[in-house]
Structure 1
Amino acid sequence: MTSGDEAIQAAEQRAESTRGRNLPPYGALPDLPIPADTANLREGPNLNDACLALLPLVGVWRGEGEINYPTIDGPKKFAQQLTIAHDGRPFLYHEARSWLLDDEGNVIRPAARETGWWRPQADDTIELLLTHSSGILELFYGKTRGQASWELGTDAVIRTATAKEVTGAQRLYGIVNNGDLGYVEERAMVGQPMQPHVSALLRRVAG
Structure 2
Amino acid sequence: MDSVTPPSAAAVHPVIVPLSYLLGTWRGQGEGGYPTINSFSYGEELHFSSNPGKPVIAYNQKTWKLNSGEPMHAESGYWRPKPDGTIEVVIAQSTGIVEVQVKEISRDFELVNGDLSYVVQMATNLTGIQPHLKALLKKL
In the aligned structure 1, how far is the partner of 2:95 from the partner of 2:88? 21
Q: Is the 8 A contact 2:24 2:47 kept in 1?
A: yes
Runs of 4+ in 1 over 4 A off after TM superposition: none
In structure 2, the partner of 1:27 is none
SS in 1 for 2:16: helix
Partners of 2:63 and 2:71 within 8 A in 1: yes
Q: Displacement of 1:72 after TM fit?
A: 1.0
In structure 2, C-alpha distance between the alignment counterparts of 1:170 and 1:60, rounded to whole Å: 22
Equivalent position of 2:94 in the other structure: 133
Structure 1 CA distance for aligned equivalents of residues 70 and 124 of structure 2? 23
1:80 aligns with 2:44: yes
Amino acid at match of 1:118: W
The answer (yes or no) to whether the contact 2:7–2:50 under 8 Å persists in 1 is no
The normalised TM-score by structure 2 is: 0.90
Residue 171 (structure 1) aligns with: 107
TM-score after normalising by structure 1: 0.62
The CA RMSD over aligned residues, in Å, is 2.0
Over residues 31-81 of structure 1, what are the superposed CA-to-partner deviations in whole Å (9 max), with x where a residue is unaligned?
xxxxxxxx51349x711101122112111000000011111122x110111
| Partners of 2:85 and 2:38 in 1: CA distance | 39
Q: How many residues align?
A: 139
- TM-superposition CA deviations, 1:150-199 (whole Å, max 9, x none): xxxxxxx13xxxxxxx311111001102x010000001126111100000
In the aligned structure 1, how far is the partner of 2:2 from the partner of 2:42? Answer: 24
Greater RCO structure (CA 8 Å; 6+ sep): 2
Task: Give structure 2 stretches of 5+ with no counterpart.
Answer: none
CA distance in 2, matches of 1:189, 1:82: 25
Q: Percent identity?
A: 35
The answer to whether the 8 A contact 1:56-1:175 is kept is: no
* Contact in 2 for aligned 1:61/1:82 (Cα 8 Å): yes
Larger radius of gyration: 1
Describe the shift of the 1:109–1:40 C-alpha distance in structure 2 as closer, same or farther (beyond 3 A).
Answer: same
